[in-house]
Amino acid sequence: MTTPAAGNTPLTPADTADAARLVAFGLQPKLPPARDAEYAALLRRYQEEPPFARIADAVATGLGLVVLEVSPRAGMAVAAAEDSVFAVRMGEYARRTTADPTDRFLHGLAHLAVAALAFPRPADLADDDYLGRISVHGVEGFVRHACQRLAERAAERGENTDPASEEPGLEAAWRVYARRSATGATKDSRRLAGSTTGIVGKAVAFLADAGFLHRTGDDQGGTYRTTPRYQLQVRELAASAAMSELTELGLVPVSDGAGALLPSPSDDSLDLVAGAGLPFHR
């Protein structure tokens, strides 16, 4: 790392290399700044030297990245723009984990549910010190309860809750989810990957591998807490229509990472569809 440029001294190619190095650190979500002296020093340069910060931002922009936050808490937190090579879209993610196209909807719904359950209230999402806690079984139970509520309301309206179409893309995600077994097991009692609990397990494992969740135990199928980087990602997701529809069902958080539902004050926006194009970022 070069010596910081002083005053109005022009930045050198070595300074640009340092800025690129900082962005590279940001692409390592499991590396906290406190564990790497060079990373921490580059973060200080970003915060104390506006010219250096502008170069780092420009490097990130050139790579198709959006800088969400730069701080000792989150590090160089970046998100991939939609056309960035660093974006991991839900369709790509689902194809990596399953050959069944129907499961893409279920994986999308699982990710939305994890986000809603981890930060159930706007105040939680806005509080930098808040740590969300979820469990695999809690997320699965939350989605299944939501499916039950949606089915009941569709029946009350006289809507068709069992369409004849064999095309998953024409069905609401909750209908697909409700039809899938919650657990299922192989002959040696291992959880079926295609069960909804298996799908939720894959979703949270993916988030943990990407540095968004931290595994804290094995109870309830696996328990996890959120990281600052995930909180920043969910803040971006919170504006999506699908997230709004899910949270409008009336989530009630409990301490073990599970959740329950209360009747929504509104009957609007009940047909939640998990978007297959939802981007996730590394």
Residue 229's pLDDT is 87
Give dist(CA 61, CA 26) in Å, integer.
13
Ordered alpha helix ranges (H), the chain: 13-26, 37-48, 50-62, 90-97, 102-118, 122-126, 136-157, 173-179, 196-209, 228-237, 241-247
CB 81 within 8 A of CB 99: no
- As for how many domains the chain has, the answer is 2
In a domain, 228, yes or no: yes
Residue 137's pLDDT is 93
pTM comes to: 0.69
Q: How confident is the model over 182-228, as pLDDT tens digits?
A: 875 554 444 566 788 988 998 999 899 888 999 999 999 999 999 99
Question: Which residues, in sequence order, are bridge partners of residue 251?
Answer: 261
Q: Do residue 128 and residue 227 come from a single domain?
A: yes
Q: Do residue 75 and residue 97 come from a single domain?
A: no
Q: Do residue 183 and residue 264 come from a single domain?
A: yes
Q: Chunk the chain into consecutive blocks of 10 residues (it has 282) and report each block's average pLDDT, rounded to whole numbers.
A: 60 92 92 93 96 96 91 90 72 63 76 88 88 93 83 72 44 72 58 79 90 92 92 77 56 40 34 32 44
Residue 166's pLDDT is 45
Q: How confident is the model over 113-134, as pLDDT tens digits?
A: 898 889 888 888 889 899 999 9
Angle at CA of residue 200, ends 197 and 205, nearest 5°: 125
Give dist(CA 115, CA 200) in Å, integer.
12
Angle at CA of residue 156, ends 151 and 162, nearest 5°: 45
Q: How far is CA 63 from CA 50, 53, 54, 209, 229, in A?
A: 20, 16, 14, 22, 19
Residue 227's pLDDT is 92
Q: Which domain holds residue 230?
A: 93-281
Q: Do residue 161 and residue 189 come from a single domain?
A: yes
Angle at CA of residue 263, ends 106 and 115, nearest 5°: 40
Q: Which among 29, 46, 80 is the end of a domain?
A: 80
Q: Do residue 47 and residue 170 come from a single domain?
A: no
Q: Do residue 134 and residue 59 come from a single domain?
A: no
Residue 185's pLDDT is 52
Q: Do residue 121 and residue 49 come from a single domain?
A: no
Q: Do residue 118 and residue 51 come from a single domain?
A: no
* b/e burial code for range 204-222 (CB count within 10 A of at least 16 → b): bbbbbebbbbeeeeeebbb
Q: Do residue 72 and residue 102 come from a single domain?
A: no
Residue 61's pLDDT is 93
In a domain, 6, yes or no: no
